[in-house]
Structures are given as C-alpha cells and as structure tokens.
Structure 1
Amino acid sequence: MAENYKPAARIPTATYRLQFNAGFTFADATRIIGYLNDLGISDVYASSYLAAKEGSVHGYDVVNQTVLNKEVGDEQSHLAMVEELKRHGMGHILDFVPNHMCIESGENLWWMDVLENGMSSPYAHFFDIDWEPVKKELTGKVLLPLLGDQYGKVLESGGLQLIFKEGAFFVQVYALQIPLEPRSYLQILQYRLDALKEKFPAEAAPVEELLSIETALQHLPLATEQDPEKMGERHREKEIIKKRLWQLCHESPEVAAFIADNVKSFNGSKGDPRSFDLMDKLLRDQAYRLSYWRVATEEINYRRFFDINGLAAIRMEDQAVYDLTHTLLFRLIREGKVTGVRIDHVDGLYDPVSYLQNLQKSSYFQLRQAGSTFPADNGEEKKEALEKEYNALLETDPCYKPFYAVVEKILMKGELLPDQWPVFGTTGYDFLNSLNGIFVATEKAKQMDRLYDRFVKWGGDFPDLVYEKKKLVMQVSLSGERNMLAHQLNNIAEQDRLTRDFTLNSLARAISEVIACFPVYRTYANSASVRDKDVQYIEAAVYKAKRRNPAISGSVFDFVRDVLLLKSPERATENDRRAWLYFAMRFQQITGPVMAKGLEDTAFYVYNRLVSLNDVGGMPGKFGTTLEAFHGQNLDRNKTFPHAMIATATHDSKRGEDVRTRIDALSEIPELWQKSVVRWSRFNKGKSTSIENQPVPDRNEEYLLYQILLGVWPAGEMDQEEYKSLKGRVRDYMVKALREAKVNTSWVSPNTAYEEGVTSFVDRILEPGPENVFLREFLPLQRRLARCGIFSSLSQTFLKMVSPGVPDFYQGTELFEFTLVDPDNRRQVDYGKRVELLADLKAREAETGPEALCRELMGKAKDGRIKLYLIYRVLNYRRSNRGPFEGGEYLPLEAKGTRERHICAFARKGKEKTVIAAAARLVATLMPAEGSLPLGEEAWQDTVLVLPEGCGGRFRNIVNGEELEAQEQGGEQVIPLARLFGQVSVALLESASA
C-alpha cells in the first residue's frame, strides 16, 4: 500500500477557452490542437460538454453529468481529442457545473423520475425541493412553471395533451413529455370500463388482465412514501405494471382501442370547457402542479439557478448526489483525460468550502490510482487507506492541492478568496476589470460625470442604483426565495419569547433590506464560527439597512444580524442552533443571485456613463484603476494565488475585449465626446419615434447606443451583407440591453412597441447614403478610437500574458474581435483563417526575421495579425521560460519624463532570469486625430523607463527580436520610450549580454 507517490497538479502556462456544441465538436477541436500548440497554448479549457439539453450552445443546461453530450461527440472522438492533446504535451481543463441541471428535457431521467414518483423517487433528495412549502396546496408536490399562459387557459385551448406510449401515460407540455404518477393511471383505465367489458365474454383474459393491472396499481405504495422498502417496491412494481399494460395492448386490439379512446376523451374538445374536467382532475393527482411561468416568482418551491425556471439546483452537499454527478469527471481525471477543472457558479453551492475540499480529496484518489500500481476499485478498506494517506499529506502540507482547480467567483472591491478554499484561484474577472481600468483616464471622472448627467439627466448615485435594482429583483424575480427565508426566520423567532413578537412581514422586509445592502455576493459560514471578513460584511449590510429604514424597528435588524452571525442565546437548544445555521447557509445561497441579477443584469444596463467599465466583476461607479492599484493587485495575486486564471474576455463578458478598449479611449477625450454626442443626438432627433409622449429611445439608451456603435464597428470596409449583419447584431443587442435594464421593457413583460421603436431608430441612423449627416460625423471619431483600440488591445493582451497568473484566451480573440454580450460572443470562430494566418506568419518570420515582420504588421494593424503574432511570440517564450513567471518576484517599475503616466511596466524576477515588461496606455492623447502610430519622439518626448538594478545593459525585445542598449541617466539605467516603442508599443526584455 505504501508507495512514495504524491500527485502534483499540472500548472498551465496559458489556457484557451473553447465553446463546445453541435457546431463545434470534439472532432473540430482535434483539428485545431496543433494550431493552439503552435500559438503557445499549454491547456485547452473546455466549456461543459457533459450531456446537455438538445440544441444547447453553451452546455450549462446539463441533463446528465454521467455521460458525454452526444451532439459534441462520443467516447471515441473524445479520446481522439485527448490523444492529440497528449501528443503535443498539452493539458485539458473542463468546465464542470455542480450547482444545477436543466429540467426542461426528457433526457433528465432523475428529474423525470421525481415528477413521476414525487417524494418516493430515489432522486427526490437530489434536487433542492421544499416538499412542505408555505403554500399548503403544494405539499408533496413540485411547482412546474412551464406554461406560457394561465393553467386553465392552456388546458382549455388543448395545450396539455395526454399521450400513451410503451405502457406509460404522459402529459405533453409543448415539446416536453412529463410522466404521470402511476396510481393516477386508474382514472384513465377505469373510465368507461363497463363499455369495454361488454365487448368480451365473461372472464375474458384481456379484461381479467386489465383488472389485475388495476389491482396492482391500487396496491402501489404512494408517491409520498418514505420507507426505503416501500419505495423500492413502488419502483419495481410500477415498471412491471407498465410492461404488462403495454403487452396487453399488443395482445388485445380492443384494449388498445379502449385506451386510445379514453386518451381522446381526457384531451377534451376546444370550445367545450366541461370536456377538460377529466384532464383537470387527472393533473390534480400528480406529484407536480403545472402553472403559468410567472407564478414561479412567488410560489416556486425548488431552488433555481438565479431566476431561470428551467435550471433546478441540485443538493451537492448530499454525498450520494456528489458521488453520482462526478462519476464521469473522476473517470476522466483518473484516465488522465482531464488535468484541471473550472467550477461553475461556486457561490450557488450550499457549502462551497466543503465541496472544494471534497473535490481535491476525490481528485487525489483518482490520481493516486492512476499514478501507481494501486488498484482502481473502490473497496471501503482501500478508500479508508487513501483517506488516511491524504490526510497525512495535508498535515505536513496544509496548502497541498493535488489537482488544478479554479472557481468562477466574482470578488468585490477588497474581497479575497477565503483562505481555506483549496483552489488555485478564480477564472479572472477581477483581473479583467483591474487591467481594463488602467486604460481609463481616472482623472477625467468628474468631466465624464457632468457629461453623462447633462445628456441623460442622470443625477444619481451608482451604489443607490444597485440597492434599488436589487430590491426590484427581489420583487419581480426572486420574491419566492425571499418569502421562504422569511418563513424560516419566523419559525426561529417563534422559539424564543424575546423574538416571538416579530411579525412575518417585518422579518421579510428586514431580510430584503439586508440583502439589498449586502456588499459582496455571499458569505461562507458553515459551522458555529463565522470568518472575521464575513462578520464585517454582515454587520456593514445590517448597519446600512438600518440607516435606510428608520421606520423599521432596529431590533428586527439586530435579530437578523444575530442569526446570520450565529449568535444564538445560551438557552438555545441544539435543534435551535442547527436551525440558525441552516437559515444562515440558505441566506448565503440567495444573496449571490440577487447581487448578480441586480448588479450585472440590471444596473449595468442602466448606468451608462462609460460602458467599458460595466463588465462582470466590475463596479462602474469607480472610474478606472490607478497604476498603483493594478500593481498592488498583481503583487497580492503573486503572493496568494500565483496560478489563478487571468482573463481579458470570457463567455460571460458584457463586451469583447477589443470593444472595451475602443470605448475606454473616450475617457481621455471627454470634451470631444461631449461635442460629438450632442451633435449626433441633434442630427438623429427626427429619426426617433414617440410612444405616449415619451421619446424612443430615451436619452440614456441613445447614449448607450453611440458607445456600442463606436466599439463594435468592424475594421475595414464592409460589403452589403456585412453591413446588414452589423445592423442586426446591434438591434439584437439593444433589445437585450433594454430588457435587462427593466426600465421601458423587460424579459418578464416585453414592451414590443417600444423595442420596435428602438430597433427602427438603429436602422434609420445607420441608413447608408450621403444625406446621413450622423454617419458622416460618426466615422472619423470611430476611426480615431479604433486606432487607439489597436494599441490598447495589444497592451492589454501583452500585460495579461506577463502578469502573475495563468493567461486565458477566449476563443477567437487572438485576432481583433468586436463582439458584444452573448449570444453574439458565442458565434462560431473561423479557425481555418487563423490556422492559415499563423502558418504564414511563422514562414514570414523565418524569411525576414521578427523585427521586419513586426514593422510590416504594425503598418497593417487593422487586420489583426499583429495581435496574433504578439501572442505567438510571448506565449512561446513564456512556455520555454517558466521561471520568471511562476513563483518569481513581481517588481513594479517607474518611468520618468513628460509621458510617464502613459506606460505600465514591471519586472518578473526568477531565480535564474529577470524579464522586463512594458506597455503603452492612454494613447488617445499621445496621437494626433489623423495620426497613425503613437511612436517616436513626438509621442514619447523625453520619457524613459527606469530599469531595476543589476539587470544588465543590453537587452533583446522578445516581441520583435530587436536589441536595445540601456543608457545612464542620473545614476540610473534607463531606456528612452521613443527607442523602446520604436516599432510596437509593448516590450518584453531579456538580457542580451550572454
């Protein structure tokens, strides 16, 4: 048993995110692995490709975690992809979804079993269902808010159809076939039974068999049965009954016709409401209640992913759920086919830290079995030995993490990942916003405020907006979740004489206010003790809630605080303490969805001061990032999570990275921006419409639209079809933005007339022709911002590749990609073009050398090849020189001179080598309006980069192969920026003295 083997996590040098679906399969990925390897990527980072709802384009609507998505490929094609990765020495990170499953698919066999068998289903505990909800009519039932209209209207219009197949009855709800509870078959089989008997002689075999089947159904244990033996009996017998019934229909045409006629009768006749009574009575006897989808807001009794009815949460805290849902993942880890995981929506889990600890331990077991002669079976004795072995390793090395795991986690200002989480970091939203922020002119905040206030008549405060939108979300989307919490808290209050007088209404209001004031997505108490940081967050939220609500008794808020902090009174029983902890942990699961929906999916679409700041993980009320803050965050990451992912775009981004950098540049030129937007609005005034005396679009929406157009406008000339595509994409984006903002329309209550007014406005202002004054004035500014965007995009991409962490690339972004929020950013990528371009660049480099090639590519920068070449040069260097980038020191560097604020620079110091990274920023004020490149003395004047001591005097720029000599100035070694950025505005310097 004892083998000297300690699995070590594979640390990527660079990851590349691929979106798998029917349009991009394992076979498609296999074909580009060689290209990704040439680019310098070390690990493919895959979206979830476990079985998902048919037609899924993202994979998060998982229906079965134990098998591969057949639309993406089979075991053979998956193996071919993995083998190709291994052939190139590459790893494979898989996006895993532990929080929820799609329930709008018959392929979710677990959920369908729950609907058929209710509480008696062996999978009833898999889903987070409240079987004893506040609404007593739902006791023992699951609310199914699937209908597009009120239940009665859908029923009487024939929208719910009874069907019979293979011995089982189902109700057809749109494309979904939902099973009926087997005992309710009796209503169908006993209807008009006497008429069937008349067709047969006495004691005829078909009738006797049908009666026997009915008797078996009558003796079937109830759907509320909880005794394991009775549950097992129910499961066995119901399947036998179905087979008998199906066999009887095959043997007796009369019985088959009888059932078919009964099905027809139950399905009723349009125009005859009474004819639907049979179906109504049948549906009342199910383990579910079909309802209008709007009912979910207040009466839902299963936890969802945010407010999406079709995604039901699963109870990952249950060991049986954990074991079954991870079966395939752990096999892939054991077989070496998956070398890392990204955990989706970790904040949705009941107990994230326990889950992550369990994940590392389980991964260790798989790696231990794969990496030695240890047998791969799961005997209890061997499992105990492995657990003992793993715990011993943790005792000697508490930070030991055998498997590379990162979490999708949004960190608010000043928030850090909990220390006890055994992960390598987040997926990089924090870095995305920090990095993007240094390309925003922070000192122009007040000017941009005034501009925005004057144009849209804003005059508000962003934190107040977030507070109001979080309250709105709890009213229109998540009031059911809040009500559930209120009833739980009311039950707690009833147990103590000092709190029993708190009313249900006052508790519900206090909960809403505390959640609306919560400063982070969630806290993580999972035991009697609460982290100091979580104490601070809870106390801050309660304090703010009190300040905002002087009319509510402070003692109610104090009670909420005490429960969340688990400060139960000394006289509390053990059951009381468990109830307090349960409430606190349930509360933690709700604050995250409210924050996400209120902040990201509402406030971000209302507050449009500078929309490049409105991205996941950002706080647009803060105008950019100082260099000091950026360096400080890099230093912290290098110390705490040096192998975290760092990204500039993800599948969840509100705007693509190259769109953001163009919009960022507006912050540098607020005077020109104000002049432009006022004139454009005047030109386009006649192209808007009016609904109920309200201009469409309103000023805030118009302000957003102009920024979007500046960011998304393609490089180069467009033909007619490309122009049509652009307009369509912008129209689609604006409709989504309007609905997310929830001001003039929404997803819940679409105002189609308003939306059509906005899309018509888009069409009119983009109508080509010499008479369109707006376009004539718009294009010069757009071209200027596009030139700025090129340099900022190169700088952002470069800084990502050399900062502490693992640089992640979202599919397609190795060229300039001007994409908007999903689904726009999930369109298929033209990999044929990229493969061809990289091959050509490599060939040209071999012919002319990198310096000449870089000069040529900068001259044609709009085509994006310079970005591709930059990535190729830096990633391949990093892969061959891991020392300075993994575990090395991070040293911020300073520049001196007139343009010193326009550069971000730092050194990465390893044991054997130091490299220096420098990138231009805030280039809009460096380049003339009609200029081309912000290079040379005219741009950089006297500014120099000050080099760290002892790093040598001669350097090679890895980006273009150019060699540079340091100069002495004031007793320091420096390089003039005019020389450093003579060809390209980024530099990665290594000593050339060897």
Structure 2
Amino acid sequence: MSAHDHRTASAPTSTYRLQLGPGFTLQDAAGLLDQLDRLGVGALYLSPVLTAAPGSQHGYDVADPTRVAPVLGGDEAREELAEQAHARGLHVVTDIVPNHVSVARPDANPWWWDLLRLGPDSPYARCFDVDLSVPLLVPVLGEDADEALTIADGCLAYHEKRYPLAPGTFEPGDDIETVHRRQHYRLVSWRRGDSELTYRRFFDVDDLAAVRVEDPAVFEASHAEILRWAERGQLDGLRVDHVDGLSDPGAYLRRLTARFPGWLVVEKILAPGEDLPQSWPVAGTTGYDALREHTGVLVDPAGESDLTALATGEGVPVDVEATDHTARLHAATTLLRAETRRIAALVPPHSEEAVAELLAAFAVYRTYLPEGLDEWLRAVDLAGERRPDLAPALAALDQHVRSDPEGEAARRIQQTSGMIVAMGTENTAFYRATRFIALNEVGGDPARFSVAPEEFHTAAARREARHPHTMTTLSTHDTKRSEDVRARLAVLSETAADFTDAVRRWSAAHPLPEPSLDLLGWQTLVGAWPIGEERLTEHLLKAAREARLGTSWTEPDHAFEQAVRDWVPAVLTGLREEVEAFVERVRGPGWSNSLTQKALQLLGPGVPDLYQGTELWDLSLVDPDNRRPVDHRTRAELLDRLEAGWRPPVDTTGAAKLHLVRTCLHTRRELDPRGYTPLHAEGPAARHALAFARSSPEAHTPDLAVVGTRLPLTLERTGGWDETVLPLPPGPWTDRLTGEPVPPTRADGATAPRLADLLGRYPVAVLVRG
C-alpha cells in the first residue's frame, strides 16, 4: 500500500474540533468521548497539545516542541485520551505548528534561550531563520526602558521578562548598558520590529520566531515527540498549520509523510479555481474552499445592487481589488517591511518598492516554483502594469528568481507572499470593504457575491474526484464569523432593500465614527443578535484596529475607540426594539440556511469537520469570541432526548441542528458515501432546491440523497414549493430526519416527491434507500 493509499484508508468519517487550553484539558476531552461517539463523530481533532508559552489560551504559540503541555495534563493524559478514543473506534487527529515557536518568554523556550545566550555558537542557532552576522534584535522595550532595564536573577531583566547573559559578560558593579552591549542580542523598542527585525516571524507577531524545519536535524528535533505518538499507534491524523510559511512546503510534506503515514491535511487557503500542487502527498486542505462555496450558494445575487449602493453611498469601498492592493502594500511596506528589505537586499538594484509591488500582486497566497510559474508571471505582469516606473527592477527580480527558483530570493518571496495576502487581505481589507461581510471570510472573495448552484455542484464533484478525503469546514478557530452568523447574514441578500433602508435610518441616528466600521457594525448586530455589550464592543474594537482606518493596534486613537464603546450601549438601548423586529424577520430563514449548509457539508464530498459547540446554534464572532467555553452538558441532555426518539421543532434551542448533525454523522458512518450526482428539482420553485445523491461502496445505484432549501425567504414570499417535485434515483426512500417513507408519486412507480411534503417539517431531508 502506498503512502497516499494509506492516507486514504486512514481518513476518518468526520472530525470534531476541540479547542484545548487551561480551562479545557486533555482530561476534559476524555470526558467527552462517549458524547462525541454517540453524536456520530469519527475522529477527535485536537488543537496543539505541545507546551505553549505560559498563559497561552490556544496553543499555537508552542514554546517547547519536545513535550506535551503540563497545563493540558501532560503526556500521560494525552496517552490515556488516545487509548480511550481508540477503544471507542474514534481516530485521534491533532494540530501541529511547524513554522514557528513562541519567544514571548525566553526562559520558557530552551532553544531560544540558548541562542540568546551563546549566539552563533549555540547548537540551536540552526533552528531559527535569523541573521547572526549582527546582534539579534529583540523588540520588546517601551518608553520606560531606561528605568526598567535591570540585572535580576543573573539575567538581563525587563519587567517580568528575563534574558540570559553570555558567559563572562557580567561582574557585580558593571554598568547595565555595558552588560547589554556585550550580549549576542539587543533589546530594542517594540516599534522597530516591523522594519528592522533580524529574525523571520509569523506574520507581524514579534513573539513568534520562524523555525527552519527544512533543516533535517531541526525537523527531527521539532517533530520527534509527534512522530513518537504515531509510532506507538496513538495518533491517526495531522493538521499542519500555516504550511505556506515553510521554506519548501512540498519537501517538508514529503519528509513528514515518509515518517507519518496517517491522514494529513494542510491549512492552505486556495483562491477560487486554485488546486493544491500535485506533488504534495496530502489528503487535502482544512476546508476553507468548501466554506466559501457553502456560504456563497445561499446568497441571492439579486441583493448585490442594493448592498453595493448602500456601501457606495456611505463611503465604504466596493472596489475589492483596489482595497486589497492598498492593504497589501501597507503590509509589505510597513507591517512586514523587515522581510521586504531582506528580499530587496538579495537582488540588485535592491528596490524595496519593486519587491513590495510584486508581493502585493499575487492572485494566490503563494506560488510553488517551478509548479506555480504561471501565477508568478501573472504577478510580475500585474506589478509592472501598476508601476511601469519599476519595470527594470521587476525584470531583475523576475530574472533572478526564475534563474534560481530554489535560491534564497525565490524562497523568501514565496514565504512572504502568503503573509502579505493574509495580513493585507484577510486582516485588513476584509475590515475595510464591508459591503457584505458574509463574504469576508478566510479563503473568501468579497468580489464574488454569490455562488450559482451549478458552480456549487461542479466544485463538489471536483472535490470528490481530486481530493475525496480533504477536510471540509464551516466554522473554525480562525473564522471571522461562525457558520450560523453567516447563514443569517445570507438572508440579508434576499431582503437587501429593506435592510439597506433600515441601516440608513439607524446610522443616521447612531453612526459609528468610520463608514466601513459603521456598515460592519449593523451587519454584526443583526447577524449575531442577541449579543451582549461586552462581546459586541470587543468585536468592533478588534475590527477597527485591524482596518487601521480610525485606530490601530500600534497607534490607538483613544477618542475614536471611546466613540465605539459609547455606540454599543446607545444602540442596544435606543434601537433594541427595531433591531429585534428586523432580526425576527430573518431568524427563521437563517435557521433554514444553517440546516441546509450543514447537511450539504456533513454528507457531501470530503471529511467534514464540526467545530466545538456548533452542533447547536452558535452565533460566535472572530477569536477570541469563538473560543469561549462550550456548554456540553446542555448538548448531552438534548442528545439523550434525541436518542429516545424526539424529533424537535426548528426553534431557538437549536435542537433541530443537533438532530440533523447526529443523523448526518451516523448516516455517514454507516454508508461511507462515495461519488456525487447533482439532483434537479422540477417545477415553479425548482431553483430553491439544492440536492445531490451519493452511493455506499456496495451499492450499484445511489442510496443516499440530500436536499436543502435555498433562498428560503424568497421562497416564502413567492408562494412556497407549490407543485415542485424532486425526482429521485430508483428505489424506496426514507427520510431519516422524520422517519417517514417517501411514497412513489408517478404512474410508472418512480419516486418524485412534492417538496412541499418532503420539506414540510424541516427545510432539509436526509434520504436513504430502503
């Protein structure tokens, strides 16, 4: 069996993502195993479990990759969890972070501590992408550096942080500045990090230093613990974080799969129409491409003109390409200038402007030369069109990179382009071009207002043909809005005229101090209602700082931010009844959208991931809001009732979603569906049905069919399903959600149920043959 065949065989039927932290440990996860098994989950999917920086709430800031985090329960708890999961037939999948480690607390990271202490002589110097020809810059100092920098505990100390002293560099009575100058590093102002940093970071986070896993010895050291679990049969799958940050992702993945033959997916953002490099030995991505399609197919293209008119009238940018370009240039010239300068220094005429324009021009997150040559050439051409004056420098860059596609300049441009897109587009432009925030999601494209059903079916069939065991997702720890918020927001495209009228009225009475934030604020209020003052305030402040229009993380405008804080209670008090009335009109159709997209995801091609807590309605926003504790007890109580035969109504409890999730997961476990055949309704409301059929491995004809409701508000307004029918493949069918058989409805005995009957109780149906 080849490695690829083994990964296919080892793919779980589904995954359930648990966000570990000090408040939810490996022991807590073990306590959920029975509940997850009863739900129908195929694999337990854990956030990073290696030792993170002290106080970490999420685990992505790994400080010591050689041991399981004691705060999570340590290796004994991990091993016990794996044994208990396997005893129930559940796979174990975990998230790994090969690109970077935390250096926020040097004393918590033994590799970084040794590098600071010994400089180029440290055996760990090879672990980091750092320029050791000069003292290593550590940007941590504030305005109080002169008073706060001291010697304490035999270390250089700045407040609670400690930095090692090189041997022989300190004697009692030595001047602090003299001691500081003797070190292999320099503590400098935090403001110098973006432009002068001498080590590569994760995005613009100074506390996360990049690791050189392309070095075989570094790979072995940083992966030994993870591979030990796999060798002992305690790990079945891996999710690789930020694969685009690596020097050579393809080579890394080939090295990893040579040692780890289990299921492997990568956090890789694909542009519309883009596919993974064929040379990557992985099952697929973590599913943001599927997320874009599942949300987009629920959006009514008829709402685009009204929402665009509102944005234009309010002064919110609607030219997505121009907004992206501006934001990406800011990322390249300011937030990540140190990387831009480093690249420019490698290629005469050393033009930072040319490098910045090129980095801002890619249509994809990253090229993988030589495989990605077409995307590279398109970026070079676009940068030249935007800045003809930079043509000679761009030509030099192009020639240099293509003559040595494995050289340092090519490698650094490729590593950096993904960071520029993420920092510029996701983290900035998505908070500026806020015409319709349901589209402004990781992996999304706000310029593509909706996805036609035909496009949705084509993408699903392509996924089944090319990457049948890729992960699909609707909500993650990184999504800006949960699946249920986006589902409700999609309804606004069906009532865009009414919504835009309401926003103009509300904004005239209570405007936020910047147009993009104002439009985002009203959509957030409707999409996440009911929402408390603290949650809404924190979300709006984060959105404003990310947009960098009225305030920012590094240059906060206190008057602007106070206006945001004042807006929230004023609106929650003064407009509560109006907002509640509007939400009441879209809540039911939003539930319909939530159930439809969930059924499509859970039973469509790929391995569906269920983010913690989203088996009930979940109206979470961007992190840290989406990492709040989950009330698993309530979910367990509702699960008890479902197992006793209860078929709940679609209401505020969210029990209907739990019923759907349980039904779909168990059906997936039982049938292991393959293939993908679109089904087409017939009749006056045919465009409102979205359906497909699949087959279990033993079946000669489809034995699973799924149908959901599309554009439910418009369907209701135009008179409902009427005589619209859904022709099904031959055979008797039963709806597992209702337990009701689907009777033959044609003279020839064929089954073509009226959708008014089939979807009378729930807006979705899960049909099995027999």
The interval holding the TM-score normalised by the smaller chain is over 0.9
Q: Matched residue of 1:945: which SS?
A: coil
Q: Matched residue of 2:636: which SS?
A: helix
Distance 2:159 2:479 in 1: 32
Check the 8 A contact 2:487/2:594 in 1, yes or no.
Answer: yes
1:794 aligns with 2:595: yes
Counterpart residue number, 2:10: 10
1:7/1:513 Cα in 2 relative to 1: closer, same or farther (>3 Å)? closer
1:441 aligns with 2:300: yes
Q: Matched residue of 1:523: which SS?
A: coil
Q: CA deviation at 1:869?
A: 1.1
Q: CA deviation at 1:451?
A: 2.4
Distance 1:961 1:58 in 2: 41
Counterpart residue number, 1:965: 743
| Aligned ranges 1:701-712 → 2 under 5 Å | 701-712=517-528
Distance 1:296 1:450 in 2: 41
Q: CA deviation at 1:9?
A: 4.6
Q: Matched residue of 2:753: which SS?
A: strand
Structure 2 residue aligned with 1:551, among 375, 384, 389? Answer: 389
Q: CA deviation at 1:972?
A: 7.0
Counterpart residue type for residue 823 of structure 1: P
Of 820-829 and 78-87, deviating more is 78-87
| Aligned ranges 1:299-378 → 2 under 5 Å | 299-363=196-260
Task: Could you list the structure 1 runs, at least 4 aligned residues long, displaced by more than 4 angstroms after superposition.
Answer: 5-9, 969-973
1:128 aligns with 2:129: yes
Counterpart residue number, 1:976: 754
Counterpart residue number, 1:582: 408
Q: CA deviation at 1:830?
A: 1.1
Of 832-841 and 731-740, deviating more is 832-841
Counterpart residue number, 1:656: 482
Which string of whole-angstrom CA distances, capped at 9 and with x for unpartnered residues, describes residues 295-354 of structure 1? Answer: 011110100001100000000000110001111101100111111000000000001011
Check the 8 A contact 1:874/1:959 in 2, yes or no.
Answer: no
Q: Matched residue of 1:863: which SS?
A: coil
Counterpart residue number, 1:372: none
Counterpart residue number, 1:646: 472
Of 896-905 and 966-975, deviating more is 966-975
Counterpart residue number, 1:751: 557
Counterpart residue number, 1:517: 361
Q: Matched residue of 2:742: which SS?
A: strand
Q: CA deviation at 1:966?
A: 3.1
Q: Matched residue of 2:23: which SS?
A: coil
Structure 2 residue aligned with 1:177, among 152, 158, 162? Answer: 162
Gaps of 5+ in 2: none
1:985 aligns with 2:763: yes
Structure 2 residue aligned with 1:293, among 169, 190, 194? Answer: 190
Q: CA deviation at 1:117?
A: 0.2
1:925 aligns with 2:714: yes
Counterpart residue number, 2:138: 144
Which string of whole-angstrom CA distances, capped at 9 and with x for unpartnered residues, describes residues 781-801 of structure 1? Answer: 111211111111111111111
Counterpart residue number, 2:722: 941
Check the 8 A contact 2:67/2:75 in 1, yes or no.
Answer: no
Counterpart residue type for residue 551 of structure 1: D
Gaps of 5+ in 1: 133-138, 189-258, 267-277, 364-401, 491-502, 569-576, 689-695, 715-722, 846-852, 929-936
Counterpart residue type for residue 299 of structure 1: E
Distance 1:423 1:7 in 2: 8
Counterpart residue number, 2:442: 616
Distance 2:92 2:281 in 1: 19
Check the 8 A contact 1:114/1:121 in 2, yes or no.
Answer: yes
Check the 8 A contact 1:48/1:95 in 2, yes or no.
Answer: yes
Q: CA deviation at 1:148?
A: 2.3
Counterpart residue type for residue 641 of structure 2: D
Q: CA deviation at 1:969?
A: 8.0
Counterpart residue number, 1:560: 397
Q: Matched residue of 2:583: which SS?
A: helix
Counterpart residue number, 1:713: 529
Q: CA deviation at 1:938?
A: 4.5
1:283/1:342 Cα in 2 relative to 1: closer, same or farther (>3 Å)? same
Check the 8 A contact 2:736/2:767 in 1, yes or no.
Answer: yes
Check the 8 A contact 1:838/1:868 in 2, yes or no.
Answer: yes
Counterpart residue type for residue 871 of structure 1: V
Q: Matched residue of 1:743: which SS?
A: coil
| Aligned ranges 1:144-543 → 2 under 5 Å | 144-149=138-143, 153-155=144-146, 157=147, 159-164=148-153, 169-185=154-170, 188=171, 259=172, 262=173, 278-363=175-260, 402-454=261-313, 456-458=314-316, 460-490=318-348, 503-504=349-350, 507-525=351-369, 530-531=370-371, 534-543=372-381
Q: CA deviation at 1:840?
A: 2.4
Check the 8 A contact 2:333/2:356 in 1, yes or no.
Answer: no
Q: Matched residue of 1:311: which SS?
A: strand
Distance 1:539 1:315 in 2: 28
Distance 1:333 1:652 in 2: 27
1:711/1:8 Cα in 2 relative to 1: closer, same or farther (>3 Å)? closer
Distance 1:514 1:7 in 2: 37
Distance 1:755 1:919 in 2: 42
Q: Matched residue of 1:907: which SS?
A: strand
1:970/1:9 Cα in 2 relative to 1: closer, same or farther (>3 Å)? closer
Q: CA deviation at 1:446?
A: 2.4
| Aligned ranges 1:74-89 → 2 under 5 Å | 74-89=74-89
1:683 aligns with 2:580: no
Check the 8 A contact 1:790/1:862 in 2, yes or no.
Answer: no
| Aligned ranges 1:833-872 → 2 under 5 Å | 833-843=634-644, 845=645, 853-854=646-647, 857-858=648-649, 861-872=651-662
Q: Matched residue of 1:326: which SS?
A: helix
Which string of whole-angstrom CA distances, capped at 9 and with x for unpartnered residues, describes residues 439-462 of structure 1? Answer: 1002332232122212x1235410
Which string of whole-angstrom CA distances, capped at 9 and with x for unpartnered residues, describes residues 931-984 of structure 1? Answer: xxxxxx942112111224xx22x3101222110113238997522110110211
Q: Matched residue of 1:895: which SS?
A: coil
Distance 2:407 2:6 in 1: 37
Check the 8 A contact 1:697/1:761 in 2, yes or no.
Answer: no
1:903 aligns with 2:686: no
Distance 2:666 2:273 in 1: 34
Check the 8 A contact 1:524/1:585 in 2, yes or no.
Answer: no
Counterpart residue type for residue 78 of structure 2: H
Check the 8 A contact 1:27/1:73 in 2, yes or no.
Answer: yes
Structure 2 residue aligned with 1:602, among 419, 428, 453? Answer: 428
Counterpart residue type for residue 710 of structure 1: V
Distance 1:483 1:317 in 2: 23
Counterpart residue type for residue 909 of structure 1: S
Counterpart residue number, 2:113: 112
Counterpart residue type for residue 280 of structure 1: E
Distance 1:147 1:109 in 2: 22
Q: CA deviation at 1:990?
A: 1.8
Q: Matched residue of 2:591: which SS?
A: helix
Distance 2:281 2:7 in 1: 15
Q: Matched residue of 2:273: which SS?
A: coil
Counterpart residue number, 1:832: 633
Distance 1:34 1:971 in 2: 43
- Structure having the higher Rg: 1
Q: CA deviation at 1:8?
A: 7.4
